[in-house]
Amino acid sequence: MTAELFYEVLLGELNARDGDPVEGFQLLLDSARRTREPALFQRAVDVAVRARSPEAALVAVRAWKQAIPDAREPRRLELQILILLGRLTETVDPLRADLAATPVPERPAALASAVRAYSRASNKQAAAQAFEQGLSDELKAGAPSAGLAWAAVGRLRLNAADTAGALAAAQQGNAADPKADAPAVLALELMDPSRPDAEALVRRYLSQEDALPEARVAYARALALGQRYDEATAQMETLTRSRPDLPDPWLLLGSLQAQVHQDAAAQTSLQRYLDLATGQSDADERARGIAQAYLQLAQLAERRKDFAAAEQYLSRVEGDEDMASAQLRRAMLLAKQGKVAEARQIVRSMPARTDADRRQQLQAEAQVLREAKMNQAVYDLLAAASAQAPNDADLLYDLAMAAEKLNRVDETERLLRRVIALKPDNANAYNALGYSLADRSIRLPEARQLIRKAVELSPNDPFIADSLGWVEFRLGNMAEAQRILEGAYKTRPDPEIGAHLGEVLWAQGQHDRALSIWREASMADAENETLQATLRRLRVKL
């Protein structure tokens, strides 16, 4: 560095820091042009950015490109600045040039960075179009990164609210490279009953032996969210057979098995997860999963009335996020043992800093009282809370269910109709009102209409399907009732659904099959109120 250059750089820095960033920028840029030094070009860009002058930053970046044509950093910066300025059509050539100069192994990172940059553009549709034009070479058939590139295009189309275009891009990416995981991951995010092609793409990808385990786990989670528990379980069973060394699939499998009351299998799966997770070097990173496994195991122990084992599992739960869940489960344990006052004290002693915390605390205390069969106390607690928030639809729904337990039929209906008025898309409110009418065999056509509305709003809910099957039974449509209830019970072998299915079978003279269903339901939950009421009414002993 000559004395003259040193003086120019020093003067540029002093101006940039002490109030004249324009002069400082110009001096630094002149120095960079004369020396072709990347650090000085970068410094000029930084000064322009700090001075909130993207146009000046663009001048510096383009000077840098001209001085050092092979440098990648100025191309990347030019792209970002042009996007910031909204000059999206000018980004096509820099993007194309940058990707062409990027080695194939580095393309995934480069494309991910570009997607993030374009996602921030104010004109989402123009950004998606410019991005696709810039990727024209990458999207050609036979291009090494075609599958990944199409998935990137799909992400920006999705960012522009073009769901159909995003799915089309995922399909083109899968066709270009069936082994590429990016199109399948995008299709996973697009899965919806209205878009069956998205799931078909995911299943095609997963049919390959080398499909990403993470993709199969994500697919199983999506199935579980849609209450397709059997299919989700099958996916995790496939994965745990092929990769028994992976911990996470065992945790999800155990959770799914517990959900459908396959308790012995769930116990084995969750213990297998703990054996793998606690024995690995990243055990600290898995702390949340380990806590979830202990919580699930505590629930299984609680179901078999081994309260000592449940408490032992809960004592192993660590971490602030999961300690609250452990305390709630501990309160339920006490309630089931008749120690209601202690259980309520645990709930009330939990910190409630936010409205969400206070709502959780209220719901937990109500559940403690339900466990103790203190239905009047549940009603009083919820009524007091509802009086403070009269337009809270969720609270009104809970209060309606409490009123129903007290056989306050008119109040239950009034509250549920209020919920529907506040939240016309609340499937549970339509279902609860329809079921309430059907269970008492009154206004059955209206009950069926209400439940069909619930099915329309939540078509994959097995409990709503159970209600529809029950109203068909009350209407005398035995074959239709059996068909609906068998489908619901297959999806979710819950004791309440089993109680209804058994009664429909019993009414048709299929006594052996009814008894088999009831025994199965009793093994899952022998104290289920609907099951016990059904057996008493029909004078059946298992």
Q: In 136-260, which ranges are continuous DSSP H helix?
A: 146-159, 163-176, 181-190, 196-206, 213-225, 229-242, 247-259
- Weakly modelled stretches of the chain, pLDDT under 50: none
Quote the tokens at residue 365. 């205390």
DSSP 3-state percent helix, strand, coil across the chain (nearest 5): 75, 0, 25
R_g of the chain computed on alpha carbons? 31
Which sign, positive or negative, has the C-alpha torsion 74, 80, 85, 87?
Answer: positive
For position 283, what pLDDT does the model report? 58
**In order of start, what are the domains of the chain with their CATH numbers?**
227-352 (1.25.40.10), 449-542 (1.25.40.10)
Q: Give residue-wise pLDDT tens across range 443-492.
A: 999 999 999 999 999 998 999 999 999 999 999 999 999 999 999 999 88
Q: How many CB atoms lie within 10 A of CB 494?
A: 23
Nearest to 460 by CA among 190, 225, 198: 225
For position 491, what pLDDT does the model report? 86
C-alpha pair distances (Å), 512 with each of 97, 515, 528, 529: 73, 5, 21, 22
Cβ-proximal residues to 363 (8 Å cutoff; 6+ apart), any chain: 398
Q: What are phi and psi of 192, to 5 degrees?
A: -165, 145
C-alpha pair distances (Å), 492 with each of 148, 299, 457, 472, 497: 38, 18, 19, 19, 8
For position 358, what pLDDT does the model report? 87
At residue 499, the 3 state secondary structure works out as helix
For position 279, what pLDDT does the model report? 66
Alpha-carbon distance of 230 to 207, in angstroms, equals 18
Q: Are 58 and 65 in contact (CB under 8 A)?
A: no
Q: What is the pTM for the complete model shown? A: 0.73
Nearest to 100 by CA among 136, 62, 58: 136
CA 2 centroid distance within chain: 61
Alpha-carbon distance of 474 to 490, in angstroms, equals 21
Sequence letter at residue 377 = A
Produce one character per residue of 328-351: b if its CB has 16 or more CB atoms within 10 Å, e if not: bbbbbbbbbeebbeebbebbeebe
